[in-house]
Amino acid sequence: MVDTMTIVGVGLIGGSFSLGLKDRGLVRHVIGVSDTKASLEKALELGLIDEALPLEEAVRRSQLIYVAIPVDVTVPVVRQIMDLIGPSQIVADAGSTKLALCESLASHPLRSRFVATHPMWGTEYSGPEAAVHGAFAGRSCVICSKEDSAPDAVALLESLYTALGMNMVYMDANSHDMHAAYISHISHITSFALANTVLEKEKEDSAIFELAGGGFESTVRLAKSNPSMWLPIFQQNKEHVLDVLNEHIAQLRKFKSCLEKENYAYLRELMESANKIKRIIR
C-alpha cells in the first residue's frame, strides 16, 4: 500500500497506472503534476488524481514518484526529482527507452532509489481521457538494471505491477531498447509510413478510404499515435531502430522481388515463414 504517490504526466500510462492502483485500494492519495493546466483539471474530473501540485511540493509529500512523460523530457525531469528526494523515497519511470535515462543517473548518489520500468502496454490515444481501468492486466512489465536499484524500491514496483496483473521481465537497459525497437518501435514506424503511402494515393483516388476495411484499420491504427511522444523515442533509440528498419526493408524487397519475377513459390514460402508468428501471438 502506497500512502501518497505523485504521477508526473497524467495521460494514458500515468492515468491508467493510477486508476489501477485506486481500483485495488493500493494507494491512498494521488497527486498529479503536469505542465498543462487543462490536463490536470481533466485528470481531477476523471478521478485519476486527488490533487494537483507543483513538482517540488508533490515530491516532498510522496512515498513514490511515478514519471510517465515523453522520453526526451523524462531525463531532465527525473534528474530534477532525484535531487529533491530523500533516502526513503522511490522514483520510477514508465518510458519506452531506458539506456539514455539509466546512463544519465549512473553517478547520482541516490541512484538506488530509482527503478527503471516499462509497462508494455499502450494505445494510439493520449491525454487523461485515454486512461482506462484494467489497462495492464495480462501484459509484461520490464524492470531494467534491477541490480542498480535498492531491493525495497524494486519490491514495491514489483508488487504494484503484479497486483495490476502484469508479468515481470528483467534485462539491462541496452537489451531493453534493442528488443523494444523490434517489437514496438518498428510497428509504429511501419504504421506511420503506411498511412503516408495511403494518404499520397488518396490525392488521386478518394475512394480508397471508402473501401478501407478492418485489416487496413488495424494495420494503420498506430499512425494516430502522438508524434510528440514517438519522435523522442526514435531519437533516443536511433541505432536500434535503424537496425530493425534495415531488416524490415530487406524483407519488403524480398516480397517486391517475388512479384517482379513472378516467383510465387518463394512468395508462398515467405508468407508461410511469417505464419510462424502464430506460435507467439495467437
| 207 shares a domain with 163 | no
Quick check: 152 pLDDT over 80? yes
Quick check: 218 pLDDT over 90? no
Place of cell 481500483: 23
Bin 25: left if φ > 0, else alpha if -120 < ψ < 50, else beta. Answer: left
pLDDT bin (cut points 50, 70, 90) of residue 131 is very high
Q: Model pTM?
A: 0.90
Answer positive or negative: Cα dihedral of 15, 19, 20, 25. positive
CATH code for position 119: 3.40.50.720
Average pLDDT for 247-268 = 97
| 180 shares a domain with 151 | no
| 13 shares a domain with 99 | yes
pLDDT top residue among 33 and 218: 33
Question: Hey, which bits of the chain come out as E strands?
Answer: 2-8, 27-33, 51-52, 64-67, 90-93, 114-119, 140-144, 167-171
| 84 shares a domain with 192 | no
Quick check: 19 pLDDT over 80? yes
Closest CA to 27 of 60, 3, 62, 52: 3
Please give the tally of structural domains in the chain: 2
| 109 shares a domain with 21 | yes
| 33 shares a domain with 154 | yes
| 140 shares a domain with 77 | yes
Residue 74's domain comprises 2-171
| 187 shares a domain with 145 | no
